Every structure is written in C-alpha cells, then in structure tokens.
Homo-oligomer: A and B are copies of this chain.
Amino acid sequence: MSNNIVDVSKLYFRYGAMNSGKSTALLQAAYNYEERSQVVLIAKPSIDIRGDKAIVSRLGVTREVDFLVVPEADLRKDFADYSKIALERTGKPVACLLIDEAQFLTPEQVDQAMQVAVLDGVPVLAYGIRGDFLTKGFPGSLRLLEVAHSIEELKTICRCGRKALFNARLVDSRFVFAGDQVAIDGFDVTYESLCAGCYLREQANANHDSQLG
C-alpha cells in the first residue's frame, strides 16, 4: 500500500484582531511542546518595541523571545544559527519555530519562514493581525495570507457582541482614519477591535465630524 500523503511541516498563520489572545496562544503552544520535552524557538520582529524582548500575554504570562528579527535579517539563516545554539545547549533539534507579531515580518522573511517549514522540515507558527487601522494588510500579514499552508482565526468580540474584524485607532479617545500605518499603542494612541458594522459606523461619524469641523 502506498504512503503518498507524507506531509512536510507547514507554515501556519494564526491571525486575530488586536487583543484576541494571540500571545497567550503562542505561549500555550510553546508550553505544549516543552511539556513533551521538545525544544522550540520564539522570535519576533524587532520593529515591535513594546515589550523589548518580552512577549506579554494580557493574562499575565510573560516570556523572553529567543531572538529578534531585524528588517534586513534572513530569517532562515537566523533560525539555523539559533537552532545550532539550542542543539548544543539541549542536545535536541528544534521542533517548532513560533513567531509573534508576524505582521511586521518583511515579505521576504515570510518566504524564508515557508522555507524553514518546507525545506528544513520544522513547523512554523506565525501569530499576527491581518490589517492596520485602515483595514489594509501589513507587509508580513499580506504575504502570510498569500502563502501559508493554513490560515486560522483567533476570535474576539466587538463591543456590540459580534466578532471583531478590524483594529480601529483612537487618538486621545477619538477614532481617527488617517495617519501612519504603524503607531504602537501607548499614552495617546490606543486601539479597539471592532466588527465591520461598528467600524463602518465610526468611520462615517468621523467623516461627518471632519466635514463639520
């Protein structure tokens, strides 16, 4: 009998609106591997400066990433280098690469992540958001949506109870629909995950206000 469905490892894109629990899910996945005595590497793009090298789950769990991916980095080479270090330290090959805030990868780095999965045989779990506050994709998430073996949604809800789709930006507590694609949330800039209906309504309101103003 033939065995002609020998799957290789896959590149997974697990996307969700902001505050849908992506970091929690990543940390749980890492825990699942390690509980079975397997070795994982965790990375994130260096552009995400919020937690320095930390991944911070809103449930209160934190952990340092193994390496930061700078924009010009070759992710496959980085992975190979850190895998070698992990192998020397643990005596085991790396079983999984986990990437947080994967929307900030470059398209080339997503292709390199695909190569890690397909050519190096190590599954890659990439967690990130789909789009910015104007519903446009980030370079990394667009490429992941184009090529990932599996696209899986992590759901959260809008304030109206429906599933949230979009990440609306607030400046000084007012929704804004113009600005740079990346503005890390902090004192004056915050985000709220909204369903499509609430997003379209806030957008219409903002247009109306700006015409009045």
Q: How many copies does the complex hold?
A: 4
Known A32-B156, A122-B1; judge A136-B146 contact (CB<8 A): yes
The reply to whether A27 and B142 form a contact with Cβ atoms under 8 Å apart is: no
Indicate if A24 sits at the interface (CB-CB under 8 A).
yes
Q: Tell me the complex Cα distance, A23–B193, Å.
A: 23
- Chain B proximity of A68: nearest CB distance (Å): 21
Complex contact B114–A196 (CB within 8 A): yes
* A106 CB-CB contact with B under 8 Å: no
Q: Mark A2-25, 1 if CB is under 8 A from B, else 0.
A: 111111111100000001110011
Would A197 and B8 count as touching, CB distance under 8 A?
Answer: yes
Query: How far, in angstroms, from A8 to B28 measured CA to CA in the complex?
Result: 25
Query: In the complex, A5→B19 CA distance in Å?
Result: 19
Asked whether, in the complex, the Cβ of A7 is within 8 Å of the Cβ of B6, the reply is yes
Judging by beta carbons under 8 Å apart, are A163 and B149 in contact? yes
> 16 new A-B pairs (CB below 8 Å) besides A3-B122, A145-B145?
A5-B9, A5-B95, A5-B122, A7-B7, A25-B28, A28-B59, A37-B159, A38-B157, A60-B60, A61-B61, A114-B196, A118-B196, A118-B197, A119-B197, A137-B145, A149-B163
Closest 10 CB pairs of A and B: A3-B121, A2-B93, A4-B161, A7-B7, A21-B28, A145-B145, A1-B120, A5-B9, A32-B156, A5-B161
